[in-house]
Each structure stands twice: as C-alpha cells, then as structure tokens.
Amino acid sequence: MKPTPKPLKPLDDALADLLAQAVPLPGADTVTTFDADGRVLAQDCISALQVPPQDNSSMDGYAVRSADVTAPGAELPVSQRIAAGSAGEPLLSGTAARIFTGAPVPAGADAVLMQEDCEALNAAPGASSGEGGTARVRINAVPHPGQWIRRAGEDVTRGAVVLAAGTRLSPAELGLAASIGLHQLQVARRPKVALFSTGDELVMPGDVPPEQMRPGAIYNSNRFFLRAMLLRLGCEVTDFGIVPDRRDATIDALRQASNAHDLILTSGGVSVGEEDHIKPGVESLGRLDLWQIAMKPGKPFAYGQILREGGTAHFMGLPGNPVSSFLTFALLVRPFVLRLQGVRDVAPKSIAATADFTWARADKRREFLRVRRREQGGLELFGNQSSGVLTSAAWGDGVVDNPAGRTIAPGDTVQYIAFSDLLS
C-alpha cells in the first residue's frame, strides 16, 4: 500500500516554526566600528550628545541678524570670520560675520546669506584690509530668520537610541554610530556553521577537468553559493566537503559537524529515496522534521536538532537541485541565521511591480519565478524555470512571489523580491 503523502506545509508556517527555534545565540563580540559592517548590534547605541552639537551654517557666506537686513543692498561691517572647527564671538548688532559651511553660527545671528547673494567690499583706504578687518559686505537679498542654518540636534538628540539592538549594520549605520562618538560596538557573535554537500555524483571544480569528468558526474555548484551566502550573513563557515551517499558516512559527518557549530547546513539527500541518508542520519543523532514545503522550486526541506555534549546543534537540510537550494536558503535559512544574531525583522520585502510576461501554468504551489527588471519598469521572465537551471538565478535580479493557482498576464501587478534583499 502506498503511504499517503504528507500535506505540503505553507512556506509562511515553515518560516514561523523555524523562527520559533532560532533563539539568539548567547555572547557578543566587541569590534571597532570600522569592522562592524554586516554585523548585528547586541546593544542599543545611545547618544551622549546632540548632532549637530551647535547650530551651524550650511553655506559659505555671511551670518547676520535678519532684523539688520530689511531691504536688498544693506551694507554691514564684517566683524569676525568663523571657519569650520572654530567658535566665533557673539555677533555685534549691525555687523555680519564671514562664515563657512559647518562653522557654528554665532550667538545673536539668526540667518546666513550665501556668498552668491553678497558682495565683499574693499576696506576703506587706510583701514586694515581683508576679511575680519574693517571690510564691509553688501547684502543683495533679504534673509528670513533661520535660513541656511542647520539646527543643533536636528539629526540626533541627546539620550536618543540612535540604533537599536538587533539592527544589522550597513555603511550608513556605521557612519551614524561614529557621528555619536562610538569607535567600538558590541555585536552578536558570528554563528558557526558547518556546511556539507551530499551526493556521489558531485565533483569539486579543480579536482577533475571538464573533459575528464566520468559519466554521471557533475560539479558541486551548491557549495559555492551556500558558502558565499553564509559569509554575507556574517557566519563563520567550516566546510566539511562532499559526503558520500552512505548512511555511516552521513552519520559520521553529522556527528563531527555538530561539535563546535551552531548550525549544520547540508544540500541534497533530503528526500526519502534509497540514496537519501540525511533523514535517518539526523534521526539517529537527534530529531528531524522533514517538511514538504508548498513552494516551487524547493519542496523538500528538513529542520532538526542534533544532540551533542552540552547542548544541541541546529540542522537544516536543503534540496539538492541548485535553484531549490538557492531559494530555500534565501527564504528560510537566511531569516533563521539573522534571527540567531538577534535581528528582529527578518522577512524579505516584496514590492508591487508590473509583469511584462505571461505565466499560463498556474501551479498548486506558491512559486518563485526568476525575473529581472527592465529599464522601462516592468519585469521580464527567464525562459526556463526548471529547478536545475541555475542560469535563471544569475540572469535574474529577483523573483516574483506568485501565489498558488495564479496565472499572470502582461500588465498584471505582481509581488517582486529583489535578490539584493534576499542575498545580503
């Protein structure tokens, strides 16, 4: 009697179940702000000062009391010169201060005129010349109070949580942390991930040249993108290479990998064929939930835990087909690994876009179609959507998240997820 197939698990349910297991890892590292790109903050960054620290000029020009310039053509003596990095004196009424971008606006001044609206006049004969002397300025515009002044604290107020724990740092965040004086940051420690591929057909590029590949052999492609994606997510990766399709070898590799790793990630061998040893292997060392996920490509996916001395290691098994492996990583492993580092918002963002293609075959599963954006704004579909065709992922710049049972006609609005959001 044929066993009744397990019902397919909706992708969102699978992700919710996984995230429930992804308890953030204990421990944190202190790194210099320079080296923190891609890491996840383990602590709030709270500002001990306001940014900018004082009102300052956003132009090269002249600082004035706006009440002193009520009509174009007013002439004022230049009473001081304030460059960035220096602090001026309170502005004497009826005078202007020569001022440069970033310099503090002197007390008493309430507006800056850009130098293009001003004419520096020669000092009177016999008087000391030059800016800061008794030179005068003609002002050809009428300032309104506050113009060209960047307000103290307009970026950051003192005591504000500038970046919250759980924020993944990218270049802008590094600059922001530096702007409040932080040269070191507390970040989540890197997840330690053991990676291996299963499959007797696999050969590592470099081990055998293409013309000498034996019949049935293929190059191991999954290892390359899985490793690269893990590294981009801040993981430390130990590569356990290719594990042969044998029960004992699989168990050995799993046992070894569970030591000193937070997560074991494998590709291939995760179905229930005779040559698929992951399920019994993991079950002999811990527990495994094998899921048939209602997504295409991607169906088989496994999550489990392997018992080891002093705790457990997470296990995730990806399908062998390259595009399935790629997308299950992006949609399930990536959020999991980010959550291990304490990231709260791990769901990829999809945006509405217009299809410039036809998709006539509605599937029972939610599909992720490889597409790319056209200059005109619409989305173009890659011709071959087979789960083995990795060219589709290199050609595309994202996927359309297409619900089960939906066909697509040109002009339809679809949900697009950029690879830049899925792979970074």
Q: Name the residues that contact ligand AMP, by CB under 6 A.
A: 197, 199, 201-202, 218, 220-223, 267-271, 319-322
Min separation Cβ 388 and ligand AMP, Å: 6
Residue 202 binds which entry of Mg ion, ligand AMP, none, CB below 5-8 Å type-dependent: ligand AMP
Which residue(s) pair with 219 in the sheet?
203
Residue closer to ligand AMP (CB basis): 296 or 339 = 296
Residue closer to ligand AMP (CB basis): 247 or 406 = 247
Residue closer to ligand AMP (CB basis): 358 or 386 = 386
Residue 319 binds which entry of ligand AMP, Mg ion, none, CB below 5-8 Å type-dependent: ligand AMP
115 burial type by CB count under 10 A (0-12 exposed, 13-18 middle, 19+ buried): middle
Residue closer to Mg ion (CB basis): 234 or 269 = 269
Min separation Cβ 222 and Mg ion, Å: 11
Closest CA to 414 of 354, 372, 363: 354
DSSP per-residue letters across 171-238: HHHHHHHHHTT-SEEEEEPPPEEEEEEE-TTEE-BTTB-GGGPPTT-EE--HHHHHHHHHHHTT-EEE
Residue 322 binds which entry of Mg ion, ligand AMP, none, CB below 5-8 Å type-dependent: ligand AMP
Residue closer to Mg ion (CB basis): 91 or 323 = 323
Which residue of the chain is nearest ligand AMP when measured via CB?
320
Phi, psi (5° rounding) for residue 12?
A: -65, -35
Q: Quote the CA–CA distance of 350 and 371 in Å, as a whole number.
A: 13
Q: How many residues does the chain have?
A: 424
Min separation Cβ 388 and Mg ion, Å: 13
Min separation Cβ 162 and Mg ion, Å: 48
Coil, helix or strand for 111? strand
Q: Quote the CA–CA distance of 404 and 390 in Å, as a whole number.
A: 23
Q: Which two tokens stand for residue 170?
A: 């990218």
Min separation Cβ 208 and ligand AMP, Å: 14
Residue 238 binds which entry of ligand AMP, Mg ion, none, CB below 5-8 Å type-dependent: none
Residue 80 binds which entry of ligand AMP, Mg ion, none, CB below 5-8 Å type-dependent: none
Residue 391 binds which entry of ligand AMP, Mg ion, none, CB below 5-8 Å type-dependent: none
Residue closer to ligand AMP (CB basis): 148 or 301 = 301
DSSP per-residue letters across 147-166: TTEEPTTSSB-TT-EEE-TT
Residue 57 binds which entry of Mg ion, ligand AMP, none, CB below 5-8 Å type-dependent: none
Residue 267 binds which entry of ligand AMP, Mg ion, none, CB below 5-8 Å type-dependent: ligand AMP
Is there a contact between 256 and 249 (Cβ–Cβ < 8 Å)? no
Min separation Cβ 179 and ligand AMP, Å: 44
Residue closer to ligand AMP (CB basis): 297 or 398 = 297
Residues near Mg ion (CB under 5 A): 199, 268-269, 320
Min separation Cβ 335 and ligand AMP, Å: 22
Min separation Cβ 286 and Mg ion, Å: 21
Residue closer to ligand AMP (CB basis): 269 or 335 = 269
Residue 201 binds which entry of Mg ion, ligand AMP, none, CB below 5-8 Å type-dependent: ligand AMP
**Residue 389: CB atoms within 10 Å:** 18
Evaluate the CA torsion angle 207, 210, 216, 218 in order and state its sign.
positive
Q: Quote the CA–CA distance of 175 and 154 in Å, as a whole number.
A: 16
Q: Quote the CA–CA distance of 319 and 51 in Å, as a whole number.
A: 50
* Angle, vertex CA 51, rays to CA 47 and CA 54, nearest 5: 130
3-state secondary structure 33-96: HHHCCCCEECCCEECCCCECCCCEECCCEEEECHHHCCCCCEEEEEEEEECCCCCCCCCCCCCE
Min separation Cβ 351 and ligand AMP, Å: 31
